[in-house]
Amino acid sequence: MTDDRIDGGDAPVGRRLISLFTDGACSGNPGPGGWAYILRDGPTKKERAESGGEPMTTNNRMELMAVIEGLKALSRPCNVQLYSDSQYVLQGLNSWMAGWKKNGWRRKSGSRFEELKNADLWKILDSLKQTHDISFHHVKGHAGHPENERCDVMAVEAAAKFR
């Protein structure tokens, strides 16, 4: 580990393969929330797990923060396999973001545009997405996926600190 972040190896040529597992939790929506991630370096299998939270937030914000904090923990550009149970995060990154960005970080609502919720976090993710090559993997929440279950426990514990 370098600088307490996962060292992505030599980049951009030969980018390191990293698995990023994430989850967010909220007690009430809005309410106290927590996020968590597990980073696993493909070649070395070294792991880093972190969590945090906010006193008044939403579940979607915590799902986004888990991904942001996980990507920010990488010290170099990497090939990242992102595993999340949040369709909001995965669809946003993989499908919707390009349109939001094109429309000034607004979304279409009927025949007009409206403010995009969590635009501040989507803009951060957009920047991080430019740094890393990310592939997207949906995991079913609360279905026994070991890393997703571990992230869920960490996120719930982080949220509990604000109750």
Asked if 122 contacts 68 with a C-beta cutoff of 8 angstroms, the reply is: no
Q: Find out if CATH 3.30.420.10 is the number for domain 17-160.
A: yes
* pLDDT given for residue 67 in this prediction: 98
Mean pLDDT of 87-92: 97
The answer to whether 152 is a known catalytic residue is yes
What are phi and psi for residue 11, nearest 5 degrees? -135, 155
pLDDT of residue 14: 75
Which one is catalytic: 4, 14, 142, 144? 142
133 carries an active-site annotation: no
Catalytic residue among 54, 63, 69, 147: 63
What is the predicted pLDDT for the residue at 21? Answer: 98
Give the model's confidence band at 8: pLDDT under 50 very low, under 70 low, under 90 confident, else very high.
Answer: very low
Least confident of 1-5, 52-56, 71-75, 136-140: 1-5
Distance CA(25)–CA(148), nearest Å, equals: 12
Residue 142 annotated to the active site: yes
Give the active site residue among 41, 54, 69, 152.
152
Helix axes 59-72, 119-131, angle to 10 degrees: 30
Each residue's pLDDT tens digit, 25-39: 999 999 999 999 999
CB crowding 6-20: b at 16 or more within 10 Å, else e: bbbbebeeebbbbbb
Catalytic residue among 8, 9, 23, 52: 23
CB 6 within 8 A of CB 41: yes
Are 68 and 121 contacting, i.e. CB atoms less than 8 angstroms apart?
yes
Tell me which residue of 55, 52, 56 sits closest to 66, measured CA to CA.
Answer: 52
